Amino acid sequence: MALKDSIAWYHFSAPKNFYPLAGKMIPWFWGLTIVLLVVGLYLSFFVAPTDYKQGESYRIIYIHVPAAWMSMLIYLVMAIYAIIGLAWKVRLADMMASALAPTGAMFTFLALWTGALWGKPTWGTYWVWDARLTSELILLFLYIGFISLQSAIDDPRRAAKASGLLAIVGVINLPIIYFSVQWWNTLHQGASVSPTMEPKMATIMLTTMLIMTFAFWMYTIVIVLMRVRRIILERERQTTWVMELFGGEASGGKGEKGERK
């Protein structure tokens, strides 16, 4: 069994074999994303009750918290792919890391932006330089640094090496973001939900937040699979399988255009 599994992993770690697999997975994850998003947004706006202290403005947590969680999770996954790419020289892992970065950056920006909109009515300010807010901003810079480092180096293998190293070093920021509200005095409140404590929010509010989180998660998988398929085609455009896929002759040159077989 273990041997069979490892053969499957090995098989699908080849971009050529992963490309069609990703194509098959995309519609399923689209379906999950849409269902979860519709249910989650309906619960967020119409079912979840008004908060006793913050009134209606608290509803932004249904975007803010899932976005912040995803921003950290995506970074962690990206760094794991970077380690696999650096240590085992798996090209697909490098491609996955590059495919994850833009979505991670988007969720980080979304968390910061919704947080600012929330901060004004509740705290009285859009921004303070407290440890939580600042470390999340550093996360955004790490994503931007990763993306720009990759586009600055032409050779994909060297680019993956440099940006992968940056991703791995940046992992140190994740526990800082997560524990910042415990380690230092911050304006940002402590965690309402954590693995070691009873949640400090009503069940329906928690359920809604978790559904939104899964919706964002599934969305991330869809977008990353779509993006990694494009990256595979771009980086493998000189290979015979990509040329065959696009119906070009082996001498067909670029292989970027042409009809699908």
Residues that bind another protein (CB under 8 A): 49-54, 58, 61, 83, 86-88, 121-125, 128-131, 168-169, 171-172, 176, 183-187, 189-192, 200-202, 204-205
The CA–CA distances, whole Å, from 127 to 75, 109, 122 equal 23, 14, 12
First to last CA, the chain: 35
Q: How many CB atoms lie within 10 A of CB 135?
A: 18
| Interaxial angle between packed helices 156-170 and 131-152, expressed in degrees from 0 to 180 and rounded to the nearest 10 | 170
* Closest residue by Cα to residue 37 from 162, 222, 203, 182: 222
Nearer Cβ to another protein (13/239): 13
Nearer Cβ to another protein (2/129): 129
Nearer Cβ to another protein (17/54): 54
Nearer Cβ to another protein (94/236): 94
Q: Which residues pair with 55 in a beta bridge?
A: 51
Quick one: 122 exposed, middle or buried, by C-beta within 10 A (0-12, 13-18, 19+)?
middle
Residue type for position 36: L
* Closest residue by Cα to residue 133 from 177, 173, 170: 177
Nearer Cβ to another protein (8/202): 202
Tell me how far, at minimum, the Cβ of 260 lies from another protein, in Å.
37
Using CA atoms in the order 257, 222, 139, 178, what is the torsion angle rounded to 10 degrees? -170
Nearer Cβ to another protein (65/221): 65
Tell me how far, at minimum, the Cβ of 254 lies from another protein, in Å.
34
Tell me how far, at minimum, the Cβ of 139 lies from another protein, in Å.
14
Tell me how far, at minimum, the Cβ of 104 lies from another protein, in Å.
20
CA angle 141, 192, 223 (to 5 degrees): 45
Dihedral sign, CA of 138, 181, 100, 226?
Answer: negative
Nearer Cβ to another protein (30/123): 123
Tell me how far, at minimum, the Cβ of 216 lies from another protein, in Å.
19
| CB 180, CB 128: distance < 8 Å | no
Tell me how far, at minimum, the Cβ of 201 lies from another protein, in Å.
4
Residue 56: left if φ>0, alpha if ψ -120 to 50, beta else—which one? alpha
Tell me how far, at minimum, the Cβ of 190 lies from another protein, in Å.
5
